[in-house]
Chain A
Amino acid sequence: MGGKVTCTLGEVKQRADFIIYWGGNPAECHPRHFTKYTIMQKSKFLPRGRKDRTMVLVDIRETKSAKAADIFLQVRPGKDFELITILRALIKDQPVRDEDIAETGLDRAAVEDLVRRMKGAKFGCMFFGMGLSMTRGKHMNSAALLTLAAEMNAFTKFVAMPMRGHGNVTGADVIMRWQTGYPFGISFNRGYPRYNPGEFSTVDVLVRGDCDAAFIIGADPGATMPQPAIDHLARIPTIVLDPHITHTSRLARVHITTAPQGISAPGTAYRMDELPMPLSPALKSPYPTDEEVVRRINEAIAKKPFWLPDGGPSPHQWTSQVNL
């Protein structure tokens, strides 16, 4: 990650008078986002709630979320990066050609109006969804948007935040960072964590046939990944933990049914702004929790011979490295 200028959702609730959703459809994917955290909330700084806030939606199509927006900007598919780059130029009063603006599917008046509103805001916030981070440009798009938010701070307060979905994926990200230094795409095959998305990310690993066993938990790659990846999962011993028999369970050697989190398994989950929330399960499950099963697997493996010679010296020195 380059930089990120962000905040907790309570700051948005209290202060954001200008909110952009970019490449996301909260009305259908994060249904309570508007009411709990953003445009519908009243606060001591924005006592009239919705009336004190402006919402802009930028997306390639007019989703249900457009109804909630004051301004809808339809960007041409695959042109998000270009539009962000144009905004970065315009906020700094750099010249941009009409034909470059037209490329994005918008006209100059609309883009300049957006820039004026962004700069006029007291507290601006951009939420970006999968429509931005999973389409052409991918993490380049998110990085550009984060940079735009950072640069806006030369004019007014501005922050940005990814709209993360998928249950507790934020928790996985946060925990991997503190335990390994990296958020995902990690290899421990040298005995310590290394990071290389593209090399160590799952789809690539599976498509190349680079792993010889798979432990799948809280996900169903058998339903969502490209066929060559699924084929490899079927070829190797795959172990699945899930509350349901999933597509992946059907091609796995081992399936263990576990209690669903927050319904019958206690614990913690992180919100998209990286705040942890305790879970209060209502039902008693006949199945064990994920935590219990993985811990028992760890204990069983710990009884077997360890794969590295124990107690060996680290290849790196215990000295400080100073790069002057």
Chain B
Amino acid sequence: MNLEVIENATCTFCGCVCDDIDLHHDGVRIHKAERACVLGTAWFLNHTAEKKYPVALVDGEEVSLDVAIETAATLLHAADMPLVYGMSNTTCEAQKECVALADLLGGLLDSHTSL
């Protein structure tokens, strides 16, 4: 098998955030995560580029991304006290959008740290 290698990839599974991992992949799966520990290896190898889940669900029904985004916006906008929570397993770029969301809504904003 001819694998492509992404050098110096970063593992975000734990707070060590190791940034020296070489990922050997075939475009669909990562087959080897060089220098990653057992936890990091499991993290990298368990994700695929396959479409395993529907893009979006509203009330259990598959919908398009556009519909899901509009529904989410409507529900959040309608709420008096919406909560934005989590942000552990995501990028800083997404986290900034989350703070902007809570700010725009006049809602609550919290992360895993409060647990």
Contact = CB atoms under 8 A, between A and B. Distances in A.
Is there a contact between chains A and B in the complex with CB atoms less than 8 Å apart?
yes
A256 B100 contact: no
Given A186-B109, A188-B107, A239-B72, A172 B88 contact: yes
A159 interface: no
Given A249-B57, A266-B91, A295-B97, A169 B112 contact: yes
B76 A200 contact: no
Interface in B33-52: 37-40, 43-44, 47-51
A154 to B, nearest CB: 30
A219 interface: yes
A168 B92 contact: yes
B48 A267 contact: no
A256 B65 contact: yes
A221 B101 contact: no
Contact of B12 (A203, A257, A261, A288): A261
- Name which of A29, A134, A301 has the most chain B CB atoms within 10 A of its CB: A301
Interface string A265-304: 1111111100011111111111111110111111011101
Nearest to B103: A188
Interface string A196-215: 01001111011000111111
Interface residues of A, number: 106
Nearest to A248: B86
Interface stretch (A30-38, A66-74, A107-115): A30-38
Contact of A189 (B9, B39, B106): B106
B93 A268 contact: yes
Contacts of B76: 213, 215, 239, 297, 301
Contact of A270 (B17, B80, B85, B109): B17
Contacts of A291: 91, 93-94, 97
Contacts of A285: 49
B99 A213 contact: no
A134 B98 CA distance: 26
A243 B43 CA distance: 12
- Name which of A277, A282, A288 has the most chain B CB atoms within 10 A of its CB: A282
**Secondary structure of the B contact surface, majority rule:** mixed
B61 to A, nearest CB: 11
Given A186-B109, A215-B83, A289 B91 contact: yes
Contacts of A214: 82-83, 85
A166 interface: yes
A253 B58 contact: yes
Given A163-B15, A166-B88, A179 B112 contact: no
A294 B86 CA distance: 13
Contacts of B96: 175, 179
A211 B83 contact: yes
B95 A264 contact: no
A188 B90 contact: no
B88 A280 contact: no
Given A186-B110, A187-B108, A272 B89 contact: no
A187 B82 CA distance: 10
Interface string B64-93: 010011111101111111111111111111
Nearest to A280: B9
Interface of A: 29-33, 36-37, 134, 163-173, 175-176, 179-180, 183-191, 193, 197, 200-203, 205-206, 210-219, 221, 224, 236-237, 239, 241, 243-245, 249, 253-257, 260-272, 276-291, 293-298, 300-302, 304, 307-308
29 contacts: A31-B14, A31-B38, A37-B16, A163-B15, A176-B95, A201-B114, A202-B108, A202-B110, A213-B78, A213-B83, A215-B72, A217-B86, A217-B87, A243-B47, A249-B57, A260-B47, A262-B9, A264-B49, A266-B91, A267-B91, A271-B15, A279-B10, A280-B9, A290-B91, A290-B97, A294-B98, A298-B100, A298-B104, A300-B73
Interface of B: 4, 6-19, 23, 25, 27-30, 37-40, 43-44, 47-51, 53-59, 65, 68-73, 75-115
Top 3 nearest A-B pairs (CB, nearest first) are: A267-B91, A219-B86, A213-B79
